[in-house]
């Protein structure tokens, strides 16, 4: 979710769900150690529980960033071993790390020694066209021996050559049964499944086999679907906020951030799909994509052409 789940996106998503764990976009360890740390790591306290997702393979740097993550207030630090992009591969991290389980295990151990928060790993079920189960089984076994207890498994192979990152999300087939087998073989570990899960029925089905579900792009394209998750997964009986109530809170947030010099367009791009599936959503999206309007100094301009009328408890597409 690089360039998607920044702090403005996460603030929005936290208004929709109190309980779901949120994840940052992948942040390169070098950017944290040598760059503008606050720009990459700052978040609103309301975003917790929040995990920092790291991209990197240098054991010492991973350990240092794990300690920084803890000091910064994150609840979890995650190593990305699933991103297939060539840019990530050139830095020797992401999905290519699955071919070096001992290195990942060394990183996990060093990170666990450096911090007390959870250290987790996100990965694929295989590389390229190798669909042998033993590959991912042995990867998890090696990394688990270093103390990792939670694995977030994207149920597709990552093809390191020949496919774009977008194609890597669609072309390699989903094989949920592989993730289910991992849970059977490692019953003491937390196995979280990811990939292609875009309805609540699908989420419910997966929770019969694994410990959790990660939803990525569907939560971005139909964010209000998250509003049902607290009741349906976490047994929280509170009535979710309506879209219009959320919008008022976003205006207040935008006004506060704009006083700090944050452009409205930087925040508003994440709210484009708030009214997904609702009558009048097209006019709303048009305004939220209008550069001239978004250059306005008044955050309340986003209330222009807001869809009105009675809305369902949550969107039809996601849940």
Catalytic (active-site) positions: 83
What single-letter DSSP state applies at residue 319?
-
Segments in the chain forming alpha helices (H): 7-16, 29-34, 37-41, 59-72, 86-90, 101-114, 133-145, 176-185, 200-206, 217-221, 229-234, 243-258, 264-268, 281-288, 291-294
Q: 76-105 burial by CB neighbour count: b if 16+ within 10 A, else e? A: bbbbbbbbbbeebbebebbbbbbebbebbb
Instruction: Determine contact, residues 82/193, Cβ cutoff 8 Å.
Output: no
Instruction: Determine contact, residues 79/52, Cβ cutoff 8 Å.
Output: no
CB atoms within 10 A of CB 31: 17
CA–CA separation, 259 vs 254, rounded Å? 9
Coil, helix or strand at residue 76: strand
What single-letter DSSP state applies at residue 159?
-
Furthest-apart CA atoms within the chain: distance in Å: 57
Instruction: Determine contact, residues 207/194, Cβ cutoff 8 Å.
Output: no
């Amino acid at each position: 979710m690089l360039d998607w789940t920044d702090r403005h996106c996460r603030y929005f998503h936290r208004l929709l769900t109190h309980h779901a764990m949120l994840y940052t976009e992948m942040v390169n360890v070098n950017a944290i150690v040598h760059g503008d740390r606050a720009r990459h790591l700052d978040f609103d306290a309301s975003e917790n529980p929040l995990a920092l997702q790291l991209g990197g393979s240098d054991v010492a740097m991973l350990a240092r960033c794990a300690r920084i993550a803890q000091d910064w207030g994150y609840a979890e630090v995650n190593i990305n071993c699933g991103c297939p992009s060539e840019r990530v591969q050139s830095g020797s991290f992401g999905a290519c790390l699955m071919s070096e389980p001992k290195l990942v295990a060394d990183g996990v151990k060093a990170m666990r020694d450096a911090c007390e928060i959870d250290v987790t790993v996100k990965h694929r079920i295989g590389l390229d066209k190798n669909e042998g189960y033993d590959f991912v089984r042995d990867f998890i076994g090696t990394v688990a021996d270093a103390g990792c207890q939670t694995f977030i498994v994207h149920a597709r192979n990552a093809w390191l050559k020949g496919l774009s990152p977008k194609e890597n999300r669609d072309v390699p087939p989903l094989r949920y049964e592989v993730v289910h087998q991992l849970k059977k073989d490692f019953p003491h570990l937390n196995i979280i499944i990811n990939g292609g899960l875009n309805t609540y029925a699908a989420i419910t089905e997966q929770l019969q086999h694994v410990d959790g579900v990660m939803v990525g792009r569907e939560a971005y394209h139909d964010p209000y679907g998250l509003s049902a998750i607290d009741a349906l997964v976490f047994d929280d009986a509170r009535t979710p906020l309506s879209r219009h109530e959320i919008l008022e809170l976003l205006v207040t947030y935008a006004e506060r951030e704009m006083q700090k010099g944050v452009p409205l367009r930087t925040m508003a791009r994440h709210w484009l799909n708030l009214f997904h599936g609702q009558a009048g959503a097209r006019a709303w999206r048009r305004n939220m994509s209008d550069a001239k309007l978004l250059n306005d100094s008044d955050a309340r301009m986003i209330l222009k052409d807001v869809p009105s009328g009675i809305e369902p408890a949550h969107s039809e597409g996601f849940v």
